[in-house]
Structure 1
Amino acid sequence: MRFTKMQAAGNDYVYMEALKEPVAHPGELSRRISDRHFGVGSDGLILICPPSDPAVADFRMRMFNADGSESEMCGNGIRCVGKYVYDNGLTRKESVRIETLAGIRLLRLHPEGGKVKTVTVDMGEPRLAPRDIPVSGEGETFVNRPLKVGGRVWQVTAVSMGNPHAIVFTEGIDRLDLPQLGPLFEHHPLFPRRTNTEFVEIVDRGHVKMRVWERGAGETLACGTGASAVAVAGALTGHTDRKVHVELLGGELDIEWDEASNHVFMTGGAAVVFTGDYPGEALSEAAAGETANGTDQ
């Protein structure tokens, strides 16, 4: 099975084409291929598939976490999908619609010298009603509410960008023990479908630093939907303006929550790491220890 490993702001996934025939057992494949010792090593697997309706979308993206669970969307991952389909000649369009479980996302590709360098993604409208995130809570929004986690009370704002996010504005994020703290947020009973959690430190009204614990993946170097949710939460709580530069462990993103359209726009880069072949028999228990054979690009 041919694969391409790509990263955007350090959020790395294995990408495979499923345009002619489906990939078997994608959840189990993601679990094995994501292993950083016995597989390729990644935050998960993203499949590039034909759209359900070619009149509505150009391609469909399926995203699987490193634990094999399927998620609705990945902001960094979808930028790589845009680069992949353009750079590999699957489309010549510079405006591409990608179908996801969170809905259709419009990508504006910015090529240089025949290759996509950056991508702007229309992330759609944020969902703020507790039932839509989902989060267990009354009222029209869940903004800056106290939540006791790990023996401490945190002020939490919940936002969905097609997947659930819990945003915490605090200081000293570099000192936080995310391997201990992250799972407590992810599996808190307040979040019936688990949650991604962003810990955010304010630099100024147009600049924040962020660490993220992603459900099903653990701490990752970046999260595009998470950065988008942070911009929304920052504006809602008065911490930031509606346009904010987000500094993540793996890179930087520019996010704007447009007041006129209520849509969130994310701009950032995407890059190929390497390509290779993954043995199909590696899905069997007998071949579980086999590793991928990658070739530098």
Structure 2
Amino acid sequence: MEFHFYKYHALGNDYIVIDPNKTKVNLSEENIRLICHRNFGIGSDGILYGPFFHDNSIHLRILNPDGSEAEKSGNGIRMFSRYLVDAGYITSKEFCLGTLGGKVHVEFLDGKGSQIRVDMGPVTFQSQQIPVAGPAREVLNEELVINNRRINITCLSIGNPHCVVFCDEISRETAVELGAAIEHHADFPKRINVQFLKVLDRNNIQIEIWERGAGYTLSSGSSSCAAASAAYKMGLVDNKINVHMPGGTIRIDIQKDGQVFMTGSVTQVAKGLLSEDLWEQIIK
């Protein structure tokens, strides 16, 4: 059986779409690592596996390049939604998509799905729901010691866990230096995504991202939602925020009822067939 794949990026964050209705493959941890490897495989920040159809809706699995499974990905949702348009699964302007982190509402802002708005749902700062170890509380502006450095963090979930580090200055080097240590800290039993955040003004923030299971990332939709929500919760920004990342900018709108909306772009990169050499390694 031929192995079809489709590749997209959202502001430099790239994913491979594998459609189980077209390609049957054992996505073991080993195979996921191989497919996502940038030297030995196709290369990507993860795999979007779907669509699956049940409960009268479309569902998606989001697989990290280390073989783990993510509950939700803002960029992944937008890229997969674009694939559904390209493949002819979706012809309407709006639809609902099921993820491990809950259902989201997707709206296409143009005919081909290159600009997409997603209702990412509400956020919670409650430690039990993120989760964060310790007593039940909202995790706001707490001190954490990492690599003998004291940092202030705010943690939240938007269907997946996030740790926001407020900084006067941010850099890729800081994200790489501290990201893995924060991700794997004992306070975070399910590991955690990390954003290093600098407030530019009331409507603009800048972030560097360390993504759970993927590492340093040029952009992230759920990280943009988390960082904007944390800054809003702390009173540092208004409810309409442009999130600036190395890969580009995402618009976040936070409504009075707590719903978080994300608007961003998607670009199709490639579609093709896996070679017999790599296919033989995968099916072993």
TM-score by shorter chain over 0.5: yes
The alignment status of 1:36 with 2:47, answered yes or no, reads: no
Supply the distance in 1 between the matched residues of 2:96 and 2:198 (Cα, whole angstroms): 33
Q: 2:109, 2:96 → 1: CA distance?
A: 15
Counterpart among 238, 242, 255 of residue 239 in structure 2: 242
> Which residues in structure 2 correspond to 1:252-291 (within 5 Å)?
252-259=249-256, 261-279=257-275, 280-284=279-283
Corresponding position of 2:221: 224
Matched, 1:134 2:136: no
- Distance, in Å, in 2 between the alignment partners of 1:158 and 1:35 is 30
Q: Is residue 51–residue 99 contact of structure 1 (8 Å, CA) maintained in 2?
A: no
Matched-pair contact (CA < 8 Å) for 2:49–2:60: yes
Identify the match of residue 118 of structure 2 among 114, 117, 121: 121
CA distance in 2 between partners of 1:155 and 1:254 (Å): 25
Cα deviation, 1:192-239, whole Å, max 9, x if unaligned, reads 000000001111011011110011110011111111011110011122
**In structure 2, what is the equivalent of residue 199 of structure 1?**
196
SS at match of 2:181: helix
Q: What CA distance in whole angstroms lies between the structure 2 residues aligned with 1:27 and 1:73?
A: 18
Task: Summarize the alignment of residues 16-27 of structure 1 with structure 2, pairs less than 5 Å apart.
Answer: 16-19=18-21, 23-27=25-29
Matches within 5 A, 1:1-80: 1-19=3-21, 23-54=25-56, 57=57, 59-80=58-79
Mind listing any 5+ residue stretches in structure 2 that lack a counterpart? none
1:107 is matched with: 106
* 1:167/1:233 contact within 8 Å kept: yes
Deviations 1:108-132 (A, max 9, x none): 01223xx112000000111221010
Q: Following the alignment from structure 1 to structure 2, what is the Cα–Cα distance between the partners of residues 111 and 29?
A: 35
Deviation at 1:262, TM superposition (A): 1.5
Contact 2:26–2:283 (CA under 8 A) maintained in structure 1: no
Q: For residues 22 and 45 of structure 2, what CA distance do their matches in structure 1 show?
A: 25
Which region of structure 1 is more displaced relative to structure 2, 161-170 or 177-186? 177-186
Structure 1 SS opposite 2:185? coil
CA contact (8 A) 2:172 2:208 kept: no
- 8 Å contact 1:49–1:61 — kept in the other structure? yes
* Cα deviation code 1:256-287 (max 9, x no counterpart): 1111x3210000011101112124323156xx
Superposed displacement of residue 138, structure 1: 2.4
SS at structure 2 position matched to 1:140: coil
TM-score, length-scaled by structure 1? 0.90
Task: Indicate if the aligned counterparts of 1:47 and 1:62 stay in contact, CA closer than 8 A.
Answer: yes
Structure 1 counterpart of 2:92: 93
**Structure 1 residues 205 and 227, CA gap change in structure 2 (3 angstroms):** same
Letter in 2 for 1:40: I
Larger deviation: 148-157 or 15-24? 15-24
Report which stretch shifted further, 62-71 or 138-147.
138-147
Contact map agreement 2:128 2:136 (CA 8 A) in 1: no
Extract unaligned runs of 5+ from structure 1.
286-297
Structure 1 stretches of at least 4 aligned residues deviating more than 4 Å after TM superposition: none
Render the CA deviation track for 1:51-96: whole Å, top value 9, x for unaligned.
3311xx2x21111111111111110010011111112211211111
Structure 2 distance, partners of 1:121, 1:26, is 29
- 1:19 & 1:50 partners in 2: Cα distance? 8
Q: What TM-score does the superposition give when structure 2 sets the normalisation length?
A: 0.94
CA RMSD of aligned residues (A): 1.5
Which position in structure 2 is the counterpart of 1:84? 83
Letter of the structure 2 residue corresponding to residue 273 of structure 1: V
Kindly indicate whether the alpha-carbon contact (under 8 Å) linking 2:4 and 2:22 is maintained by their aligned counterparts in 1: no
Equivalenced residue count is 279
Q: 2:166 is matched with which residue: 162, 169, 180?
A: 169
Whole-angstrom CA distance in 1 between matches of 2:121 and 2:282 = 36
Percent identity for Structure 1 against Structure 2:
35
